[in-house]
Structure 1
Amino acid sequence: MRVLLSTYGSRGDVEPLVGFAVALRGLGAEVRVCAPPDEEFAELLAGVGVPLVPVGRSARALTAAAPPPSAANLPQRAAELIAGQFEAVTAAAEGCDALVATGVMPAAAGARSVAEKLGIRSVSVTFQQLTLPSPHHPPLAYPGRPFPPEVTDNRVLWDLDAQSIDALFGEALNTNRASVGLPPVDNVRDYVIGGQPWLATDPILDPWQETPDLDVVQTGAWILPDERPLPAELVAFLDAGAPPVYVGFGSMPMHTSTDVAQVAIEAIRAQGRRALVRRGWADLALIDNRDDCFVVGEINQQALFGRVAAVVHHGGAGTTTTATRAGAPQVVVPQATDQPYWAGRVADLGIGAAHAGPTPTFESLSAALSTALAPETRARATAVAGEIRSDGATVAAKLLLDEISREKPPVSA
């Protein structure tokens, strides 16, 4: 069987697909991945021997591009993404039995349209539940299209969300669909999500509440086991003293006038702790030459987080899940989209602190670290770690291949 996995987004949109690809291949499927052409994504896939079909511009370059996303420029950016999906995914999906679509809404809409045109099964996947309509939570607002503050009914907000998505992405999607002979879509969001979307998150960390409008399949998080050893210099730093506090913001560029690294290191030192700084897309760096701090680039977080006192991060789904699995107390400094949700889940579970707002100060980060470094937080984090599942990718791979097998006609003798 052949499966195409398609996404466009940051590392949090790509890395789960790598874990899923490995699980599918382990069950005998042939897999390829359509993703942005960023070097780190290419290296991730090359490391497990899965072909990358590049689509669109660099996700990192697009994230850092000026001006930032707005109601004025989102339709143009969406048109570019959708056209790129029609071009790259159409070629990559030839001969495939199924397509799995995720990533930002316009890219997923393009990928599912390609599957429709080719007549192959497609599945919509999300790595956080906030894009799935539900009366139990509100939708995320798009840049430049805030919801009216007087509207608090979640059902009404989801109707407004569908209108926003159609206004931003509908014309570009339907123009591309018409070019290949497909009929127009009158509700882009519902078309992308479908009636049975998959939610690839852990049910303890991200509990889904049933809703009559969607038959959500929660598979568990898609985790790629990372066997890479930690660099010798890092191991020496870890062995040289008490566990440090890790600080890193992943794929967030951190557009702020505040020197985040300086604030973080000073707050960590004030707790009597050493600091471990990850560069990431924010290009964090050390602030002096003292030997109580160490800087790293791309690193095996699965191995590292079990050796730190706490993890200060942006609240991406992947980092939150990795830290939770490792039993590491967390301070989540949310920057955008679903990250405030993950910060709230960390606080609700008692496994760390949710920082108020995206810009930490010495005082605010010190207060959050005091919570995260408390013995009771460590005890709770250790307990919750034992409840987090690690088989989500395998569960999803078996489900997809079983569905393909049931739908394929029997081979004649």
Structure 2
Amino acid sequence: MRVLISSVGTRGDVQPALALAQRLRDLGCEARLCVPPNFVAWAQGLGFAARPLGVEMRAPRPGVAPPPVPDLITDQFETLQAAAEGCDAVVGAGVHQYAARSVAERNGARYLIAAYAPVSLPSADLAPAGRAVAQQEPAEIQRRWQAARRGWNDRSLGRVNLNRGRLGLAPVDDLLDHILGARPLLACDAWLGPAPRAADVEVVQTGAWLLPDTAALPPALDAFLAAGEAPVYLGFGSMPAPYETNLALVEAVRAVGRRMVLSAGWAGFARIDDAPDGLVIEDVNHQALFPRVAAVVHHGGAGTTTAAALAGAPQVVAPLFSDQFYWASRVAELGLGAVAPSALDSYELARALDAALRPAVTARASAAAGQVSTTGADTAARIVVEGGRSA
């Protein structure tokens, strides 16, 4: 069986796609990938055929003009159509898949789509991704979904239908309905992010698609961890952030009397002085690092939230946009940590850190590690192979 997996976005979007590809290969399938250009080498290094899709999602580089942006919808259609030859199934990993269903239809392949967060799926009980609104009324949730549908259609429906016409396919009326189909997969942990109770579609929750990582930690990091009390991890992954955020993070950790590990990430976090209480790292194995830290301070991406919960580490979430507000609310509701304001200052962050490091919270976070399933990608791979769930 040949399966084409399409993923766009940052590392948090692509890593689950690679996890699914590995499980499909374990089941004897040929998995092909279309991923952003900066992740092609990663996919190929894992032994998969991979093509560049769209543009590199990366924070702006000082003094470097951004490359011209192509028509990303047309690019998806052209890239996926070229890659889908001979494929039995096309899987969209993440909901921003403007071409995957059309390419599957054109090639007679099955189509499956996976959302990474419950707030990506229209429902009567969860508003779409965006800034969190506490205790939303049903009428407000409905209004926000109507606005979200209009946004999808206004921005992209015309170009999707233009490209469908080029493939000899009929136009569609509602883009979000077209992308999600009748039975989308929900690729997040059922305890951390349960499926909406009143979804407009039949949701099939697989669990999070986790990519096993056996890489050792760099020697300098391993030595730093061993040299004293467990530090606080600070990292915003693929999110940009100003220097003021870097400063606030360092000052807040010092205010609670902890050492720190700063993940540079796309924000370029760095030490602000030569004090021995901090270490700056690049990308490392979170599965090896998070069990050895006192708390994880992050932006609220689905992958980091899941990795911290699986490690039993308390969390402080400072959401910036989209589903990050949802994951921040879940961390608070489950008692796994605290939420900090998006506009971070050292005082508010220190308060949140102090709350997350309290013994009752650390105990809950430690106990929660056993609640998170690690079999989501296996479940999804079996669904793809068995053909039981498709749009």
**TM-score of the superposed pair, with normalisation by structure 2:** 0.93
Distance in 2 (alpha carbons) for counterparts of 1:352 and 1:65: 38
Check 1:166–1:58 CA distance in 2 against 1; reply closer, same or farther (3 A cut): same
1:241-285 deviation line (CA, Å, top 9, x unaligned): 00000000001012x4x5222211111011111010001111111
Check 1:64–1:152 CA distance in 2 against 1; reply closer, same or farther (3 A cut): farther
Q: Is the 8 A contact 1:9 1:36 kept in 2?
A: yes
Distance in 2 (alpha carbons) for counterparts of 1:158 and 1:65: 39
Quote the residue 1:122 is aligned against. 111
Q: Is the 8 A contact 1:247 1:311 kept in 2?
A: yes
Matches of residues 63-78 of structure 1 in structure 2 within 5 Å? Answer: none
1:186-238 deviation line (CA, Å, top 9, x unaligned): 10000000000000000100011333631100000000110000011110110
DSSP 3-state at the match of 1:33: strand
Give the count of matched residue pairs.
Answer: 385
DSSP 3-state at the match of 1:168: helix
DSSP 3-state at the match of 1:153: helix
Quote the residue 1:337 is aligned against. 322
Q: Is the 8 A contact 2:59 2:238 kept in 1?
A: no
Letter in 1 for 2:350: S
Quote the residue 2:383 is aligned against. 399
2:346 aligns with one of 356, 362, 366: 362
Quote the residue 1:181 is aligned against. 168
DSSP 3-state at the match of 1:295: strand
Q: Is the 8 A contact 2:113 2:184 kept in 1?
A: yes
Letter in 2 for 1:128: A
- The answer to whether the aligner puts 1:234 opposite 2:232 as a matched pair is no
Check 1:136–1:62 CA distance in 2 against 1; reply closer, same or farther (3 A cut): farther
Quote the residue 2:268 is aligned against. 283
Q: Is the 8 A contact 1:86 1:114 kept in 2?
A: yes
DSSP 3-state at the match of 1:259: helix
Distance in 1 (alpha carbons) for counterparts of 2:345 and 2:199: 43
Structure 2 gap ranges (5+) = none
Quote the residue 2:25 is aligned against. 25
Matches of residues 206-355 of structure 1 in structure 2 within 5 Å? Answer: 206-211=193-198, 213-254=200-241, 256=242, 259-355=244-340
- The answer to whether the aligner puts 1:82 opposite 2:57 as a matched pair is no
Letter in 1 for 2:127: P
Give the percent of matched residue pairs that are identical in Structure 1 and Structure 2. Answer: 46
**TM-score of the superposed pair, with normalisation by structure 1:** 0.88
DSSP 3-state at the match of 2:169: coil
Q: Is the 8 A contact 2:291 2:311 kept in 1?
A: yes
How far is the alpha carbon of 1:47 from its aligned partner?
3.8
Structure 1 stretch 152-161 or stretch 86-95: which is displaced more? Answer: 152-161
Structure 1 gap ranges (5+) = 69-75, 143-148, 408-413
Check 1:248–1:134 CA distance in 2 against 1; reply closer, same or farther (3 A cut): same
DSSP 3-state at the match of 1:42: helix
How far is the alpha carbon of 1:152 from its aligned partner?
4.1
Quote the residue 2:35 is aligned against. 35
Larger RCO, structure (CA 8 Å, separation 6 or more): 2
Quote the residue 2:83 is aligned against. 92
DSSP 3-state at the match of 1:214: coil
DSSP 3-state at the match of 1:109: coil
Q: Is the 8 A contact 1:2 1:95 kept in 2?
A: yes
Letter in 1 for 2:92: A
DSSP 3-state at the match of 1:359: coil
Quote the residue 1:46 is aligned against. 44
Quote the residue 2:189 is aligned against. 202
Distance in 2 (alpha carbons) for counterparts of 1:61 and 1:260: 15
Distance in 2 (alpha carbons) for counterparts of 1:122 and 1:29: 16
Letter in 2 for 1:80: D
Letter in 2 for 1:211: A
DSSP 3-state at the match of 1:227: coil
1:101-153 deviation line (CA, Å, top 9, x unaligned): 13353xx12121111111110101111111100000112369xxxxxx99943
Quote the residue 1:136 is aligned against. 125
Q: Is the 8 A contact 1:248 1:314 kept in 2?
A: yes
Structure 1 stretch 47-56 or stretch 195-204: which is displaced more? Answer: 47-56
Q: Is the 8 A contact 1:131 1:140 kept in 2?
A: yes
Distance in 1 (alpha carbons) for counterparts of 2:165 and 2:64: 31
Q: Is the 8 A contact 1:131 1:139 kept in 2?
A: yes
How far is the alpha carbon of 1:291 from its aligned partner?
1.3
Distance in 2 (alpha carbons) for counterparts of 1:63 and 1:185: 39
Q: Is the 8 A contact 1:7 1:104 kept in 2?
A: no
How far is the alpha carbon of 1:387 from its aligned partner?
0.9
Distance in 2 (alpha carbons) for counterparts of 1:402 and 1:63: 45
Q: Is the 8 A contact 1:102 1:125 kept in 2?
A: yes
